[in-house]
Amino acid sequence: MNALSHRVETLLGTAVVATAPVAGGDICTATRVRLSDGRTALVKTRPGAPAGFFPTEAEGLRWLAQTGGVPVPEVLAAEPDCLILTWVETGRPSPEAAEAFGRGLARTHAAGAPCFGTASGNDGWIGLLPLPNRSAPGWPEFYATRRVLPYLKLARDRGRIDPADARSVETVVRRINDLAGPAEPPARLHGDLWSGNLLWGVDGAVHLVDPAAHGGHRETDLAMLALFGCPQLPRVLETYHESTPLAYGWEDRVPLHHLYPLLVHACLFGGGYGARAGDAARSLL
């Protein structure tokens, strides 16, 4: 028996009868395991994972699951060295699943949060970067000081954004109260809602994985869906808006909500993400 199988059996109290690697994970190693009781599970591991890495992810999944909105995999075990989730069998994106996802995401967001950030104030993770979650009185302050400025500084320190683009982002931060749109209460966000974190299940539902969950602005989740291309996005947005209408001008604010993920990608990957952040900032000015 290999070490992974032994670890799963110890945590779940059920024999492992088969394992298979799962492709696609850049940060963690993912393994599909079949259990003797008929269940199938996903095991995520990472040698030397930062303290609290997997328990924080599990906490976010459980928090999202409480809403009765978009389904998430059940957390079977969460330990410092691994996370075990129920397996989601995936299929093809369908219009019907997209419509259900839009309605479900509206319910998830509407469940709300105690503050912008997290009640504990504990940092989360976006990829392997720490994610500041200390609360702030309003969303503009939270977004500027916990999402945009930390990653702008890191991108500068790593040489991943040029001075002109950085100045454009700083100008947006100075004007954020004017650009943020109507005030809304904290929504319950997935927090890293790009298309790779959507599992289009054979059960006809979209399942959310890999959250960076916190209280924030619901437009942030929706903007993230558009940033890297979500299947069936027009249907998702249409049914979301029917369930919980978005504030006037939300389309014009999409570049504002793109600044944070673009800066994160600049920090992690370089490439043209710093320039894209500068372009997004200038489109708002």
What pLDDT, on a 0 to 100 scale, did the predictor assign at position 27?
Answer: 87
Please name the residues in contact with 34: beta carbons below 8 A apart, sequence gap of 6 or more. Answer: 16, 17, 18, 19, 40
How confident is the model at residue 138, as a pLDDT?
96
Q: Give the CATH number for residue 240.
A: 3.90.1200.10
| Mean local confidence (pLDDT), 72-93 | 96
Same domain, 26 and 114: no
- Give residue 24's pLDDT: 72
Mean pLDDT of 41-49: 93
Domain boundary among 45, 68, 86: 86
DSSP-derived 3-state class of residue 257: helix
Shared-domain flag, residues 34 and 142 = no
Domain co-membership, 81 together with 127 = no
Show Cβ contacts of residue 4 under 8 Å, excluding neighbours closer than 6 positions: 19, 31, 33, 43, 45
Query: pLDDT tens digit string along 140-150?
Result: 999 999 999 99
Per the structure, the complete domain to which residue 27 belongs is given by: 3-86
- The verdict on 27 and 158 lying in the same domain is no
Residue 19 tokens read as 């394992």
pLDDT given at position 42: 97
* Same domain assignment for residues 32 and 159: no
Looking at residue 162, its pLDDT comes to: 96
Mark whether 81 and 215 lie in a shared domain: no
For residue range 30-40, list pLDDT tens digits in order.
Answer: 999 999 999 99
Q: Would you place residue 281 in the very low, low, confident or very high pLDDT band (cuts 50, 70, 90)?
A: very high
Q: Does 184 lie in the same domain as 261?
A: yes
Question: Is residue 1 pLDDT above 60, yes or no?
Answer: no
Per-residue pLDDT tens for 93-103? 999 999 999 99
117 and 34 share one domain = no
* Cα distance from N-terminal residue to C-terminal residue, the chain: 60
Residues 192-205 have a mean pLDDT of: 96
Q: Residue 40: is it exposed, middle or buried by C-beta count within 10 angstroms (0-12/13-18/19+)?
A: middle
Looking at the structure of the chain, the number of domains it has is 2
The whole-number average pLDDT for the span 16-38 is 91
73 & 135 share domain: no
Residue 25 has pLDDT above 90, yes or no: no
**Domain holding 8: CATH number?**
3.30.200.20
Q: Over range 226-241, report the average pLDDT.
A: 95
Residues forming the active site? 192
Residues 166 and 240 in one domain: yes
pTM for the predicted model, two decimal places: 0.95
Average pLDDT, the chain: 96
Query: Quick one: 113 and 57 in the same domain?
Result: no
